[in-house]
Amino acid sequence: MANHMFLFFNHHPTREQIMDAEKTFDIRHIVQLPEVLQALWSQIPPDPPEIEPFLSPFKDWLRQSAQEGDYVLIQGDFGATYLMVRFALELGLVPVYATSTRQATEEQLSDGSVRLVHHFIHRRFRKYGM
């Protein structure tokens, strides 16, 4: 049974997310991307027409680090997420994403701009394709 969850995620998991992963999937180890890869994942470049070459170091790291049956939390740039979910499935990993309730507050500022603040409350993890 898998007990690792690898994170392809733009921020650190919340306490609620960690507790949910432990309870729902029997996760014992949360594995974050190495610092260099985390910085890259958080800033997927918008200009290249294809991002597959950009994802090579992520695929190499996951291939070397994860074992069949491990979980992978994948969220971020839509195209990168799609490609990494496919790759995770090819490796026999279990790709998941976090669902949340969002509360938004909108404030009209004196200069005519709008400040929009979102608060996300973790609800559950869901397997891709389920």
Question: How far, in Å, CA of 65 to CA of 40, rounded?
Answer: 18
Domain membership of residue 70 as a residue range: 4-127
Retrieve residue 126's tokens.
């869901």
Three-state secondary-structure class, residue 7: strand
> How much is the pLDDT for 115?
87
Task: Tell if the pTM clears 0.75, that is, is over it.
Answer: yes
- pLDDT string in tens for the chain (130-residue length): 569 999 999 888 999 999 999 999 999 999 999 999 999 999 999 999 999 999 999 999 999 999 999 999 999 999 999 999 999 999 999 999 998 888 888 889 899 999 888 778 889 999 998 6
Q: Are strands 71-74 and 29-32 parallel, antiparallel or unpaired?
A: unpaired
DSSP one-letter code for 42:
T
Number of CB atoms found within 10 A of residue 84's CB: 23
- Say what the pLDDT of residue 1 is: 56
The count of domains in the chain is 1
Residue type at position 114: V
According to the model, what pLDDT value does residue 127 have?
95
